[in-house]
A = this chain, B = another copy of it.
Amino acid sequence: MNNATLAPDPSLVRERPEVYGDAHPKELLRAIVEDGEHLLPLENQHILAADQFDRATLLQLFRLAAKYESNPHRFSTPLQGKILISAFYEPSTRTRLSFESAWHRLGGDIMSITDRASTGIAKGASLADVGEMFNNYADCVVLRDTREESLSEMMGSRRIPTLSAGSGIEEHPTQAMADLYTILKWRPALLRADLPPAQRITLGIIGVPGKMRTVRSLLKICSVFPEAFARIHVFHDGAGADDSGLLPELRSRGLDIVEHDGGFDAVVPQLDVVYINAIAWVGNGFERHGGQYRLDEHTAFKDDAIVLHPLARGDELSTRLDHTARNWYFSQARGAVFLRMALLTCLVQRKGRVLDVV
């Protein structure tokens, strides 16, 4: 009798939209030979910087991420009995849930801190003491704070592994690991030992190295794989873009980095991968940069070029690209969960439960 009400609102009929870029984690998996030895440096480590591990360690990490992504329901209990403290003293949904989802999918338990006001820090507890307490309560800590120095203050007394989930303007290392993981899934051939120079890719980054932690961490992790990049173009709004002197250091590691103030339209036809971000976290708020840059269906992309974005996005990235093959930013967000699963497994020394050969 209620047939009328059974027909759902058409705006709510969900097609299952294809997320580009999820097709082939197995190709990356096959491109890397499993070698658990290289994951040893991750055990019980703090994760503060995107470039703190060597190439072999990162590759094995990517391999494990691809293994998880290829068969997301195969491993559901490696972290059973392990407890994560997920402490976000700066607002976040995406990154917090990404980490927590990763931990839950592996069977672990979680205690969340979602704002500073609800914590003992409000009554003057020192961060070092809070860190000391965390040792008693959990097996791992994921930490985000607006102050870069908070992480090192807390880590000083930490005996359990602690990951930065974004520290002020400094670093967002797991985001960068997920970024590179996405690029390697898209083109596993970049890992070939005999990669011809002509097959190196050209990466365009729209963002401000001096102010955006995502951009800083991406550039740093690229410097661990300099042979994969023919050139990296960085587009920003000019003066003060690299106050920290990061770019000279990275050039010395073998990256060919060119900075631009404008001129994106002339360069975009050469770019294999375009990474764009407009938000910089500064102090307790954020700034928007790069108002002159925008990606949409009229952008003169190279054939087969893909777009990455750490999200959340604003006007700089048109939603009209969402349903095109350029869209690897949703895949990037999806892959980040598996990358974090791989990293967390190694940090808490449970890799033995998921590797084929131990």
What DSSP secondary structure best describes chain A's contact surface?
mixed
Contact flag A113-B137 (CB < 8 Å), given A83-B101, A312-B120: no
Residue of B nearest to A48 (CB): B12
> Measured between alpha carbons, how far is A144 from B223 in the docked complex, in Å?
44
Closest-by-CB residue of B relative to A120 is: B93
* Cα–Cα distance between A266 and B297 once the two chains are bound (Å): 67
- Residue A292 is within 8 A (CB to CB) of chain B in the complex: no
State how many angstroms separate the Cβ of A132 from the closest Cβ of chain B. 6
Copies of this chain present in the complex amount to 3
Contact assessment for B333 and A136 in the assembled complex, using a CB-CB cutoff below 8 Å: yes
Asked whether A231 is an interface residue with its Cβ less than 8 Å from the other chain, the reply is no
The answer, yes or no, to whether A239 is at the interface (CB within 8 Å) is: no
With a cutoff of 8 Å between Cβ atoms, the chain B residues found around residue A91 in the complex are: 117-120, 122-123
Q: How far is the CA of A286 from the CA of B226 in the complex (A)?
A: 55
Complex contact B136–A101 (CB within 8 A): yes
Instruction: Please name the residue on chain B nearest to A90 by beta carbon.
Output: B118
Cα A284 to Cα B2 with chains together (Å): 33
- Complex: chain B residue closest to A82, CB-CB: B104
Contact of A124 among B49, B134, B314, B319 (CB under 8 A): B314
Q: How far is the CA of A81 from the CA of B101 in the complex (A)?
A: 11
Binding site for B on A (CB under 8 A): 1-3, 5-6, 8-9, 11-12, 14, 16-17, 41, 46, 48-49, 51-55, 73, 76, 81, 83, 85, 88, 91-94, 96-98, 100-101, 104-105, 109-115, 117-126, 128-130, 132-138, 152, 155-159, 220, 223-224, 226, 253-254, 279, 286, 311-314, 319, 330, 333-334, 336-337
